[in-house]
A and B are shown apart, each in its own frame.
Chain A
Amino acid sequence: MDTRLNTTIGNLNLINPVMTASGTFGFGVEYENFLDLNSLGGFIVKGTTGEKREGNAYPRLAETPSGMINAVGLQNKGVEFFCKNIYPIIKDKNENIIVNVSGSSIEEYCKVAGMINDLDTIPAIELNISCPNVKQGGMGFGVDKDMAKEVVSEVRKVYKKHLIVKLTPNVTNIIDIAQSVEKAGADSLSLINTVLAMAVDAEKQRPLISTITGGLSGPAIKPIALRCVWQVSHNVNIPVIGIGGITSASDVVEFMLVGASAVEIGTANFIDPSICKKIIADLSDYCDRHKLNSITEIIGKI
């Protein structure tokens, strides 16, 4: 293990800055044939809601230039199923297993957060106030600074460990939202969630996904994500986790240079299920070439 890659997100200690993004990594076990889950800085499991959700109708996916649009719609078996059936299987697979928490009401967010709070080996939750896929879901909270503040404040009351809040880029001023969430008690921020987008089939003259609009991810959104991370990290006093189109160690470095303390890899896991292993190895190589004693030296240099 290369200790030069150690980083922190507030009180969370990571062996390296490479985590995986919610919704792209299942519960981790899906990837065990491809990499050692313990070699990751952490992983964020699938979005979990208060009750079971079937998600959206097929088709849920459209491949678009250098990216993809998804509209899964938070299909999951609910928080009780997670605590009872999934947690016991994964609980010792990594020091930083983080649960992505979602809901369509403040009560639902608080129910999920409260139940996850009782799980010993889960040190943090990532509050999804931004998912653009669910009609009655997160979107409303993440695009309005007062609503964002309210949901984070209420969850803060029931959740005692590290609270990450995941921000949507689909807003007029992401700094306003970030500062509002910081004031409400977030320990760190992760950004960006997917970019609201659309794909159309010209021949069939129809939208390519069942919900018409969905969330764009992949390399196509990296420049937007870098801009958002740069804006936010210089205007809050809590750590920032960078997400958006990362496929290589140099992408990780770019996000750290603009202020991220760690990153989440998302869509790239679909392209190469062992990509994180390569990225981590290449980060050591970057440290060699740039004579870094710690990868954290580059955080926020830009």
Chain B
Amino acid sequence: MCFLLHLKSEEPLCNIQAGQFVNILVKDIADRILRRPISIHDVDYTNNEIIVVVQKIGKATTKLSLINEGDKLDVVFPLGNSFPLIGEKPLLIGGGVGTAPLYYLSKKFNENNIRPTILIGAKTKDQLFLIDKYSAVADVYISTEDGSVGEKGMVTTNSILNQQFTSYLTCGPAPMMKAIAIEAQKRGVDCYVSMENRMACGIGACLCCVTATTKGNECVCTAGPVFNANDIKW
């Protein structure tokens, strides 16, 4: 289950890029001490809010689902690099909760008068979240593994890929992004992927979240989370 969390900052928000993430400290959960890195779904500068999509999967995210409006959270933000706003006709590909940052990314493209295409992959229609919202900023296509909505199958078999796009920007499970990267290479399309590795510090100090790249092991939190797919050693 996914839910939206509105994080209202006490201080005016700085300029936040699409693809960056926040690191949330969830206090008083039995014996879990590290922060939870979560990608930024949207930014509301008028209300001074960062909005994230949280998937309830463990102790910390369950605790987050139970907090009340007005409760205080300790959040470090914004962290990481961002998606490049490249291409006249970008295809944004999201898998599961990895779709979340593609909303803010679409809005950034909209600012440049580009309406991107979003391809969303999920196991079933029950796992799809906020589709109407995405439709407001992009042309939405869906793949579900059981065929309950959109085309049946994986995102990599969706017929929309047969259209000519200028770039693929993707966030989701690593096997999906790898498949997209291979597809991009075949078609000669620029491809950027947003990696989600286990992190401790989120600021490039601990070197735990590294991914193997052509330049060696690089921190996903500072050199990423967004990488050119060609630089990743899958």
Residues on A close to B: CB < 8 A?
23-26, 30-31, 54-55, 57-63, 65-68, 70, 72, 75, 218-219, 267, 269-273
Q: Which of B26-34, B96-104, B117-125 contacts A (4 or more CB under 8 A)?
A: B26-34
Closest to A20 in B: B205
Whole-angstrom distance between the Cβ of A265 and the nearest chain B Cβ? 12
Asked if B205 and A269 sit within 8 Å, CB to CB, the answer is yes
A65 and B30 alpha carbons, distance in the complex (Å):
8
B184 at the interface (CB under 8 A from A): no
Asked if A60 and B205 sit within 8 Å, CB to CB, the answer is no
- Which DSSP category, helix, strand, loop or mixed, fits chain B's interface? loop
Task: Report which residue of B32, B198, B207, B217 has the largest number of chain A beta carbons within 10 angstroms of its beta carbon.
Answer: B207
Asked if B200 and A55 sit within 8 Å, CB to CB, the answer is no
Q: Which of A26, A31, A60, A271 contacts B210 (CB 8 A)?
A: A60
7 pairs, CB–CB < 8 Å, chain A vs chain B: A24-B205, A30-B201, A31-B205, A54-B217, A61-B200, A75-B217, A270-B201
Asked if B217 and A55 sit within 8 Å, CB to CB, the answer is yes
A-B contacts at CB below 8 angstroms, number = 83
Residues on B close to A: CB < 8 A?
25, 31-35, 74, 76, 197-212, 216-217
Given contacts A31-B203, A58-B197, A66-B31, contact A72 B208 (CB under 8 A): yes
Asked if B210 and A270 sit within 8 Å, CB to CB, the answer is no
Whole-angstrom distance between the Cβ of B232 and the nearest chain A Cβ? 12
Closest to B30 in A: A65
A6 and B126 alpha carbons, distance in the complex (Å):
60
A271 and B199 alpha carbons, distance in the complex (Å):
11
Chain A residues with CB below 8 A from B208, complex form: 60-61, 70, 72
Chain B residues with CB below 8 A from A66, complex form: 31, 33
Whole-angstrom distance between the Cβ of A96 and the nearest chain B Cβ? 18
Whole-angstrom distance between the Cβ of A69 and the nearest chain B Cβ? 10
A23-B207, A54-B217 are known; give 19 further A-B pairs, CB within 8 A: A23-B206, A26-B204, A54-B216, A55-B210, A59-B198, A60-B207, A61-B200, A61-B206, A61-B208, A63-B32, A65-B31, A68-B33, A70-B208, A218-B33, A219-B33, A267-B200, A269-B201, A270-B201, A271-B25
A57 and B198 alpha carbons, distance in the complex (Å):
13
Chain B residues with CB below 8 A from A267, complex form: 33, 200
Given contacts A63-B33, A67-B33, A271-B34, contact A55 B205 (CB under 8 A): no
Chain B residues with CB below 8 A from A75, complex form: 207, 210, 217
- Counting from the closest, the 3 A-B pairs by CB-CB distance are A26-B205, A65-B31, A61-B208
A62 and B31 alpha carbons, distance in the complex (Å):
13
Chain B residues with CB below 8 A from A62, complex form: 198
Closest to B197 in A: A58
